[in-house]
Amino acid sequence: MNDPVWLMLIKGVLVFVVLVLLVLFTIWYERRVVAIMQVRPGPNRNGPFGLLQSLADGLKLAFKEDTMPRTADKLVFLAAPVIAVACAFTAFSVVPFGPVVNVFGIETELQLTDFEVSVLVILACSALGVYGIVLAGWASGSAYSLLGALRAAAQVISYEIALGLAVLAVFFQSKLMSTGAIVEAQAEGLPLSIGGAEITLPGWYFIVLAPSFVIFVIAMVGETNRAPFDLPEAESELVAGFATEYSSLKYASFFLAEYVNMVTMSALAVTLFLGGWAAPFPDSWWPGANEGFMPLVWFFGKVLAFLFFYVWLRGTLPRLRYDQFMNLGWKVLVPVSLVWLMVLAAMNIGLDTGNELPTRIAFAGGAAIVVMALIFFWPSRKPYEDPAEPDTGLGGFPVPPLDLAVPPNPRSLKQLEPASTSSAPINGSQKEEE
């Protein structure tokens, strides 16, 4: 980009302000949507419709007591939230949220910066942001924090592979790695010849690359540590996971980084699969829909739709067990991504050369691999057989019998002792006899 320095500074400040405002709005939005799902009001006191509740919570966190464990590594303990926040904000710098516009007489794009491999910047920032979580858990000197850090490390390794394979499919299809160029590539329809008939598919990649889109959406939820994949901070198991020993602004920094990552991954999904800032209808319906500042409405509308998806998952799905979570990443998402990439590569070779044989072979081979994968991974269920001996527990597991009485509390027994029937005072001889 050839923007002057002052314009780049204005863009940087605007990106920072927009992200902070989106975080405040998303927190309020999440609480209100979950409240509607649970048939309760939600925040409704501070400001109109409770919109200032998130700001009030942020101020409350800022004025809380700031503590640090005596066993903590002070330097790493302080650096961890800074790493998480810096990586979260940096990733949004290459996301395009509008076309070329005129700002103070200068033609500029509604994007902070862009280059040939800008998508890799987002993936790199997403991976590096986990270092903040891992270092926070290690430096806290707490067993719960360390377990949360180990979970975060395993989680990012597992789901970063599936996420990268889903993005790789977009690279195959567009032959581009620039975020702005990928948005422009989706503006054109995709011609396809089927049985001699020429049809044009919509250019958005969520239609053409539907398996990659589904894999990307699942992986981005796991990548951002959101429910039902919020295992590094599982409060029912690890108190607060990696953030157990953090308080005040340091805890708020992790909270901020999590929601900024949600916004960034939603924006990346919109950029790669939903046409970016393009309007969700043909240009013939509204010729000026993709000009000027109007694309900002379409872009942030799509981002809010993804944020609703995050909230919807949190309000409806319980947290997965850790073994279920790992099985989903390694045994489902990664193999399906690899098979889909092979099918997509063969299809592109066939379409580029004008030969339909590789495409047919790809579909046949892909179908065979899918069938074999289903046979291999299908859970085997044995028919129920009556036990040879009477079952003394629940399904063969040793459990206490249902009529087992809980030992009474000695204090409660003392309170239930009957009072003395004689109201006369007890003399010395009676005491000795007792």
Residues 6+ apart with CB under 8 A from 167: 119, 123, 212, 216, 272
Per-residue pLDDT of the chain (434 residues; tens, 9 = 90+): 678 888 999 999 999 999 999 999 999 999 999 999 988 988 988 888 899 999 999 899 888 888 888 888 889 889 999 999 999 999 999 999 889 888 888 888 889 888 888 999 998 998 888 888 888 888 888 888 888 888 888 888 888 899 999 999 899 888 889 999 999 888 876 665 555 666 556 678 888 888 889 999 999 998 888 878 887 777 777 777 788 888 888 889 988 998 999 999 999 999 999 988 988 877 767 878 888 889 999 999 999 999 999 999 988 888 888 888 888 888 888 888 888 888 887 777 765 666 555 555 556 556 666 666 665 566 655 666 665 666 555 555 555 555 545 555 555 555 555 555 444 454 544 444 44
Q: How far apart are CA 355 and CA 135, in angstroms?
A: 53
Residue 120: CB atoms within 10 A of its CB come to 15
| CA nearest neighbour of 253 among 359, 168, 135, 122 | 135
Going from N- to C-terminal start, the domains of the chain cover: 67-320, 323-379
CB of 252 closer than 8 Å to CB of 62: yes
Residues 6+ apart with CB under 8 A from 252: 58, 61, 62
Q: Can you read off the two tokens belonging to residue 186?
A: 């989706």
Torsion over CA: 392, 396, 398, 400 (sign):
negative
Q: How far apart are CA 149 and CA 128, in angstroms?
A: 14
CB of 178 closer than 8 Å to CB of 351: no
Q: How far apart are CA 235 and CA 217, in angstroms?
A: 24
Hey, is 100 helix, strand or coil? strand
